Structure 1
Amino acid sequence: MSTFAAAFTMHDSDFTLTSPLSDPGVSERPLLALTIVWHPDSARIGEQYVGDAGMLELNRYAPQFSRPGHEGLPLGHGGISREPLRFTRNRDDEVTIALPASRMTVDLNGRAVEGSVRLDADAVAAGQILTLGRAVVLCLHWMNCLPKDNPVPGLAGVGSAAIALRDQIRMVAPTDLTVLLLGETGTGKEIAARGIHALGRRSADRLVAVNMAALNEALAAADLFGAAKGAYTGAQAERRGLFAEADGATLFMDEIGNAPPSVQPMLLRVLEGGDYRPLGAAQDRRSTARLIAATDQDLDSASFNHALLRRLEGFTIQLPPLRARREDIGVLIVHLLGKQGALPPLPARLVTEIACYDWPGNIRQLGHTLKRIALLVENGGTPQLEQLVRMAPVPPSSVARLVAEAAPASSALSAGPRRKPSQLTEQDVTDAMVASDWNIQAASRMLGISRPSLYKLLDTHGEIRWAEKIPAEEIARAMAAHGDDVTRAAAALRTPTESLRREVRRLVV
C-alpha cells in the first residue's frame, strides 16, 4: 500500500495543529502577515497585520491593521463579512484558509474559492492575493521582521524584502565604501543609488551618472578619465572626464557589466588607489569620487575583469524582483500614480490582476503600465491588463515551439509573449500544462497570460479537471500507481499539481 493510500484510511498525527508558541526555536520562524494591497479608503493601503498565532480570525472588526507609529484599525468595509475567515498555521508552516459561512465572495489569486484551501510554506512565501467582497485586496505572505519605518527616498514597500533593502542602504550610505547593486532590469537600481547618495556625506554635491553600455569603445577612456589637448583627433582642448567631474561627490556607473574591456584595467587602478591618468597626459590625477555600480548581469560568469569585480564588491546589495515582493504592489501603485496627481479609482478586480502578474520588467514595467491605466480611466475607458502588458503578437503556432525556446524549469521557464486568452485553444492550454509539469504558474508564463486568466481557461477546459472534482478513489489509485509522486500523478489525472497537492493533503487529514 502506498504512503498516500495508507494515510487515506487513517489520521496522521503529524498534521495535528498546535500553537507555534509552544514549539522550540519559534523565533526563527517567519511571521504570518496580511498586507492591505487595495482598499476603498486609499489611506489604508499598505497597512499590515503581522503575528505568530496558530490561528487568526479575520472579519470586518478584527484584527487591527496598522503601519509603524500609527494606531491600528480593522478593515471596516461593509463588504467584509462579520463571520470570520480563519487562517490556521501548522508546524510545517502550511496555512489553511477556511471561508466563513456568509455571502461574501472570496477570490484567491483571482479565482473564486469555497470551503477551505491549504497552502504550503512556499506558496505563502510567493504571496497569495485574497480579494474579499470584490472590494478589499489583501496579500498573505511571510515577514522575517516586524514592520519598520526606515525611509529611503524613492524606495516604497512594506514587506521584509523592502525593509531589508532600505536597511542595507541606510547602513552603507554614510560610508565611502564602493557599492555594487545587483538585480533584474527595472528593479530600481538607479533609485537605490540615488538613495545611497542622498543619505550619505556627499549629498550636497550632485550624483554623476554614466551608462557604461552607452560608452563608445574608442572614446570610453576619454569619457571616464579625461584627455589632454591633442590626445586624439579632434581634441582641441583639455577634456575633463567623469572621475574629475565627480571628485568629492558620487559617481554612479550603471550597466557596469557592459564596460568596454579596454577601460576595465583603468577602472581597477582608480578603485585601488584613486589614481588615474587622462588620455595623453604626462602625469597622474587623483579622484576621491565615491563609486556605486549596478548591473543585471552575472559578472562572475561573464567576460568581466574578476579583479575589478572584487574591488566593486566593497558592499553588495541584491535588489529583489517585483514578483518576490507581491505585498508591496499596493503601496507601489500609490507611490507611482501619486506622481501623476490624484489616485484614480481602480476596480479591485484590476488590482488583483496587477498583484497576481509576475512583471518581468519589474517596477519600471509596472510604472509604465500604471500610466496607461490612469490615462484610460481619466478618459472613461476600462483598462484590461491583458492588453496593457501584451508584447508583440505571437505567430499562429503551437505552444510547443514556445516551450522548446524556454529556459529549463530550474530557471523558472521564460515567459512567452503576451497574448489574449481568447487567442488560445484548448490544445494550447494542454500543451503548456504538459510542458510545465502541470504547474499553473509556469504554464501561465509560457502562454503569456496571467494566472487568473489561466484559472478561467482551466475552469471551462473540456479535458483538464480540478482535483477537488476528481473522486477520492481515483486520486488514491493514481498516487499509488506513481509512488506518491504528485507531479506524475497530476499528469496521469490531467489536473494541476497545485490542485492535486491541496486535495491530497485534505484527504489525509
Structure 2
Amino acid sequence: MLAPLTAGKGEVYRISRHEPSFRTGNNQAQTPLADRHVSRQPLTIRRVAARTVEVTRPDSPMAVSVNGRLIERATTVSLDELGEDIIICLSDRIILSIFETVLPLQTDAARHGLIGISKGLQRAWATVRQGAPTHLPMLLTGATGTGKELVASAIHALSTRSAQKLHTVNMAALSPSLAHAELFGATAGAYTGATVARIGLFAQAHGGTLFMDEIGDAPKEVQPMLLRALENGEYRRLGDTKAQVADVRIISATDRSLEAGDFNQPLRHRLQGVVVHLPPLRDRRVDIGLLLRHFLTRPETNLGSRDPATVPAGEVLPLLLHPWPGNIRELAGAARQMRMGMPVTLKPVAARAVNEMSQEPVAVAPSPTARRHRDPATVDDAEMVGALTATEWNIKAAAMLLNVSRTSLYRLMERSPSLKEPGLLSADKVKDDMHRRTNDGHSAWASKLKPSGDSLRRHLRRSDMQ
C-alpha cells in the first residue's frame, strides 16, 4: 500500500491506526492501517532536510523501530543510512518504508518481470522505454543478480525487432581461439575440426537482436571485430576474405567498469549508445516486499507456494535490513527456503564488504568516504537491546545496525541493566533453555537468556555444557 509523503521541510506527517489512507496496488482502494496493534495516537514524521526526517514515537505502549533500532525519543534518520529507504516497524506487525521515487509510477515493467516502485527501478525502466524502440546499442550495467538478462528481454520485446529471436551469448564463456568463429562464423577448413562452414551468431541474429552478456570479459582478439560490426555492420568469417553484412541490434551487459583494464575504449563508446543502470537491491529496499510476494507465489516445479499474508513482520524485517550482496538472485533463493518451511539464514556482511559493494560498475564520481561511527553515549539501552534482538544477538551485525564499533557495543552490554552476566546464570537455567531450544543454536539461547552469543559460548565452555 502507498501513501504519498509530500510534506515540505518542517511540516509534520502523521501515521496512526486511522490515518493516512494508503492506496492499494491497483491505485483505487484507499484504506488506513486499521490494525488494533497500531496506536491511535500518531507517530510523527517531520522532514528536516532534503533526505532526512525526524521520527517521533507516540506516547503509547506501541514499539517503534527505525532501521532495526528501537526508539524511545525523537530520532533523526537519513535515507542515506540504508541506501535509499528508511524502514519503520510498528508493534512488530506493520512495516513501513519511507523512500523517494518518480511519479507517476510506471507499473508496466512488471509484465516483463521487473518488479518494483523504487526510484532506481523507475528511472531504469524509463530509459528502457525510451531506448528500446530505437536501433541504438544499449549497455546494461549493474552488479550480478540485479536482473540484466530480464531487462535485455524487455528491450527486445519493446523493439521493432520483437518478431525475431533474441540471441544470447555469454562473452566470458568464449575461448579466445574460437570466439571469432562463434561470433562471426567460419569457412570449412578454417580451423582443425571445421569440416563444414559454421554460421556465426551475427549471421543468425540478422534482422534481430544479439545480447552479449559479460561484455567486459570479451576476448581482446575479437573486440576490434565487434567495433567494426557495430560501426557499419561488416564482419568477416574466420578463413574468409570477403566481408559479410549483418543488420543486428546489440544489447550488452556488464557488472564491472569498462573503463578499467585493457578493454577496447572505442568499442565501449559504441556500446554506450543508451546506458541503463540497474541499482543493487540494497538501494531499492522498498521493492523487497513486492519481490518477496512474487517469489513466494510464482509457479515453480515441485515447490509449493506460500501465502505472503502468513509471513510475520518479524520474519520480513531482517530481509529488509540485509545488504543482499547477491541481489535479487539471493532474495529468490531465500524465498524458496521460506516456501519449503526452512529458516532463512542471512550471513552477516562486514562493513568493509558493504562499502566494496557500494562501488558502482561504471561510476564516474569519486566513491563516498567511509561512514564514521556514532558516539556510543547516544545509544540508549532500549535501542541497543532492539538491535541485538533484530540481528538475533549477532554482535557484528548489531554493531553495524547501531553504527558503533564492536568494542563499544561490548562495553554498552557490560553496563546494561537489561542484560545478564553469563556467570550469574544458574547451570540449571541454561540447561533448561538449551533443551527447549535444541535446534536453535546459541543465538536463540542468547535472545532468551540475554547475554551475548559469544559470551554464552564461553560460559558454556567453562561449564563443560557444550
TM-score by length of 1: 0.68
- The corresponding residue for 1:41 is none
- Give the match's secondary structure for 1:232: coil
Alpha-carbon distance between aligned partners in 2 of 1:87 and 1:368, rounded to the nearest angstrom: 35
Q: Which of 33, 48, 51 matches 1:90? A: 48
- Give the match's secondary structure for 1:49: coil
Alpha-carbon distance between aligned partners in 2 of 1:224 and 1:285, rounded to the nearest angstrom: 12
Q: Which of 294, 297, 308 matches 2:256? A: 297
Which deviations, in whole Å up to 9, do the C-alpha atoms of 1:249-287 show, x marking residues without a partner? 110000000000100010001000111111112322111
Residues 305-316 of structure 1: pairs in structure 2 closer than 5 A: 305-316=264-275
Q: In structure 2, do the counterparts of structure 1 residues 338 and 48 end up closer, same or farther at CA, with 3 Å as the change threshold?
A: farther
Q: In structure 2, do the counterparts of structure 1 residues 316 and 409 end up closer, same or farther at CA, with 3 Å as the change threshold?
A: closer
- Give the match's secondary structure for 2:133: coil
Could you tell me how far 1:98 is from its partner in structure 2?
1.0
Alpha-carbon distance between aligned partners in 2 of 1:410 and 1:238, rounded to the nearest angstrom: 46
Conserved in 1, the CA contact under 8 Å of 2:306 and 2:339?
no
Which deviations, in whole Å up to 9, do the C-alpha atoms of 1:431-478 show, x marking residues without a partner? xxxx9742699xx9xx99645885599799441489x99xxxxxxxxx
- The corresponding residue for 1:170 is 129
Q: In structure 2, do the counterparts of structure 1 residues 93 and 247 end up closer, same or farther at CA, with 3 Å as the change threshold?
A: closer
Conserved in 1, the CA contact under 8 Å of 2:186 and 2:200?
yes
- Give the match's secondary structure for 2:30: coil
Alpha-carbon distance between aligned partners in 1 of 2:217 and 2:189, rounded to the nearest angstrom: 28
Q: Is the counterpart of residue 248 in structure 1 residue 207 in structure 2?
A: yes
Q: Which of 148, 162, 173 matches 1:203? A: 162
Q: Is the counterpart of residue 183 in structure 1 residue 142 in structure 2?
A: yes
Q: In structure 2, do the counterparts of structure 1 residues 198 and 48 end up closer, same or farther at CA, with 3 Å as the change threshold?
A: farther
Could you tell me how far 1:227 is from its partner in structure 2?
0.6
Conserved in 1, the CA contact under 8 Å of 2:102 and 2:122?
no
Once superposed, what is the RMSD of the aligned Cα atoms? 3.3
- The corresponding residue for 2:364 is none
Q: In structure 2, do the counterparts of structure 1 residues 450 and 154 end up closer, same or farther at CA, with 3 Å as the change threshold?
A: farther
- The corresponding residue for 2:373 is 438
Conserved in 1, the CA contact under 8 Å of 2:16 and 2:42?
yes
Alpha-carbon distance between aligned partners in 2 of 1:315 and 1:112, rounded to the nearest angstrom: 44
Could you tell me how far 1:55 is from its partner in structure 2?
1.0
Q: Given residue 257 of structure 1, which amino acid in structure 2 is its aligned partner?
A: G
Residues 383-422 of structure 1: pairs in structure 2 closer than 5 A: 383-386=343-346, 389=347
- The corresponding residue for 1:427 is none
Alpha-carbon distance between aligned partners in 2 of 1:352 and 1:220, rounded to the nearest angstrom: 46
- The corresponding residue for 1:113 is 71
Alpha-carbon distance between aligned partners in 2 of 1:224 and 1:363, rounded to the nearest angstrom: 30
Which deviations, in whole Å up to 9, do the C-alpha atoms of 1:320-373 show, x marking residues without a partner? 111111111101111222224343532211210000011111111111122122
Q: Given residue 51 of structure 1, which amino acid in structure 2 is its aligned partner?
A: T
Could you tell me how far 1:247 is from its partner in structure 2?
0.9
Q: In structure 2, do the counterparts of structure 1 residues 92 and 322 end up closer, same or farther at CA, with 3 Å as the change threshold?
A: closer
Q: In structure 2, do the counterparts of structure 1 residues 407 and 87 end up closer, same or farther at CA, with 3 Å as the change threshold?
A: closer
Residues 226-241 of structure 1: pairs in structure 2 closer than 5 A: 226-241=185-200
Alpha-carbon distance between aligned partners in 2 of 1:359 and 1:305, rounded to the nearest angstrom: 32
Q: In structure 2, do the counterparts of structure 1 residues 411 and 346 end up closer, same or farther at CA, with 3 Å as the change threshold?
A: closer
Alpha-carbon distance between aligned partners in 2 of 1:101 and 1:64, rounded to the nearest angstrom: 22
Q: Is the counterpart of residue 371 in structure 1 residue 361 in structure 2?
A: no
Q: Is the counterpart of residue 55 in structure 1 residue 28 in structure 2?
A: no
Q: Is the counterpart of residue 285 in structure 1 residue 219 in structure 2?
A: no
- The corresponding residue for 1:64 is 21
Conserved in 2, the CA contact under 8 Å of 1:231 and 1:280?
yes
TM-score by length of 2: 0.74
Alpha-carbon distance between aligned partners in 2 of 1:192 and 1:253, rounded to the nearest angstrom: 13
Q: In structure 2, do the counterparts of structure 1 residues 146 and 114 end up closer, same or farther at CA, with 3 Å as the change threshold?
A: farther
Alpha-carbon distance between aligned partners in 1 of 2:236 and 2:407, rounded to the nearest angstrom: 67
Structure 1, unaligned runs of 5 or more: 1-43, 392-401, 414-434, 470-509
